[in-house]
Every structure is written in C-alpha cells, then in structure tokens.
Amino acid sequence: MSAIQVNEPKPRMIVPHSVRGGAISLVGLVIGAGIWEIVGRHTQAASFAPFSQTVSALWLMTRSGELPTALESSLELFGAGLGFAMLFGFFGGLFLARIRLLRIGLEPYILMLYATPMFALIPFILSLFGFEFRAKVIVVTLFGVWPILINTLEGARSVSNDLLEVAKSYRSTEPKLWRHVIIPYTLPYTMTGVRQAIARSLIGMLASEYLLAATGLGNLILTYTNRFDTARVLAAVLVITLLATILMAIGRAIENYFARWKAGV
C-alpha cells in the first residue's frame, strides 16, 4: 500500500520562542476573546453569547454536575471506540502485512472505507446494532480504525531488508524478529495513525451522539440549541475544543515518544 500517503499536518501548541513572540501570541488570544465578547454583546442573546457569559455558563454547568456527567459519558464512548480502533488497526495492519494475498485483495476496499464519510453508514449500523452504547462504539471505531490500519501496514511493509538480514544473521527466530525488529519499527507509523484516529474518532463520537441515542456532549449541544441557550451550547463546544486540543497534544507526545529513535536517522 505504498501508494497511500496519509499525510496530516501536526497540530502545534503555542510554544513561544521568545518573550516577544509569546507576547504577540497572547495579544492574539486577547484579541480573539475580545472579538467574541463584542460580537456576543451586539447580537441577539438567542444567537450569540459573549465570551464572559459562555465562561459563566461553563461554570454553572460544571457546578450542577451536568457537564462532568456528559464529559464522562462522551469520554467513555470515545475511549472504547478508539481502544478497539487501535486494537483492530494495529493487529489488522500487521496481519495484512504478513499475508500478501489478503493484502492485495483487500487494499482497494480498505481505501474505499477510509475515504467514505462514515457518517453515511450510521443508519446501517443502527439497523444492525441498535441505538445504544454498543452501536455507538462501533461507529467511533469505524471512524478511527482506518488510518491506524493503513499506517501500521505501511510501517510493517517498509522495514528494510538490511535490518531483516541482520536479524536473520543473528539467527533470530520469527517471534523474536517481530518483537525486536518489525514491531518497534512499525510503532511510530502506528502512532501517526493513532494521532489521526483521535481526530476522526472525536468526529465519530459527536456524529453518533447526534444520530443515535443522544448522550454526552453531543446531547448537550443539541438540547441547548433547541432551547436557544447559546451560552451553554458554546460552553459545550468550548469543552470539546479543549478536549480535542488536549487529546491531540497527548497523541503527539506519544507519537514523538515512539519515534524518538528516528531523529538520528
């Protein structure tokens, strides 16, 4: 599957290189919050809430326990879905790297699933697995599994023959070959896929909360939209944004950890 190039820019955190650079970034943040505040104050309350109201809504929803409950429910869904995606993606990728016929046969279909907007498949999954947690986990997994699988496969296939030969010259057995050469070599690729899977699984999480049984943060957004309570909707969006940023940062840290030997290559 060398034709696939799963290339996604790495999201960056703001790391100020200098005091001045940091100050400019800070100014950017203040301007953003200011614009939000001003726009919010000059539009109808039903359509846009200023920054300050959103923050106080966030505080109220946290205190009432509403937000923590929703967050927990969403995270549970996200975690389970991503967990299965990692499991199936990693082992599926290794498996396909090993079995040539299956790999060649399945390649176009995997690519197709990767390119399909998974949202479209949700009604089908609903009819097979229902509305509840199980179905939603399947949706999240379906969103997340493909980049992991494709990247793992590509990694496992790109182990250089030189390395394999070295291992064989040391009389490495097959299981040890996997443990000491192929898997360590593949993991950085897998983790690149995991980082992409995090973003996609978040979309899957929201999509399944919108379309299947409404729970978690998706439910908060839908409910408060129907009540025209923009401050609470924006508070929920803010939490999702924060969650996404944190998860991406974790994903990137893990990716860098597994790719640390690559710096010198």
Taking the least distance from each CB to another protein, the nearer of 182 and 194 is 194
Query: Can you count the helices (H) and strands (E) in the chain?
Result: 11, 0
Look at the block and give the residue holding tokens 């300050």.
52
Indicate if the alpha-carbon torsion angle 192, 193, 196, 201 is positive or negative. negative
Interaction mask 212-231, another protein, x per CB under 8 A: -----x---xx--x--x-x-
Closest CA to 79 of 14, 136, 150: 136
Between residue 57 and residue 86, which ones bind another protein under the rule CB under 8 A? Answer: none
Amino acid found at 87 = L
Which of 38, 46, 250, 253 contacts another protein by CB under 8 A?
46
Task: Check residue 113 for interaction with another protein (CB under 8 A).
Answer: yes
Structure token pair of residue 186: 């593949």
131: contact with another protein by CB under 8 A: no
Nearest to 208 by CA among 141, 114, 145, 113: 141
Residues in the chain: 265
How many residues form the binding site for another protein (CB under 8 A)?
67
Question: Near another protein by CB under 8 A, which window of 45-53, 66-74, 88-96, 163-171?
Answer: 45-53
Task: Return the residue matching tokens 């508070």.
Answer: 235
38, 87, 104, 250: residue in contact with another protein (rule CB under 8 A) = 104
Complete DSSP assignment for 183-205: HHHHHHHHHHHHHHHHHHHHHHH
Please identify, among the stretches 63-71, 90-98, 177-185, 238-246, the one whose residues bind another protein according to the rule CB under 8 A: 238-246
**Using alpha carbons only, how large is the chain's radius of gyration in Å?**
22
Binding site for another protein (CB under 8 A): 3, 5, 7-9, 11-14, 21, 24-25, 27-29, 31-32, 46-48, 101-102, 104-109, 111-113, 115-121, 123-124, 126-128, 199, 202-203, 205-207, 210-211, 217, 221-222, 225, 228, 230, 233-234, 236-237, 240-241, 244-245, 247-248
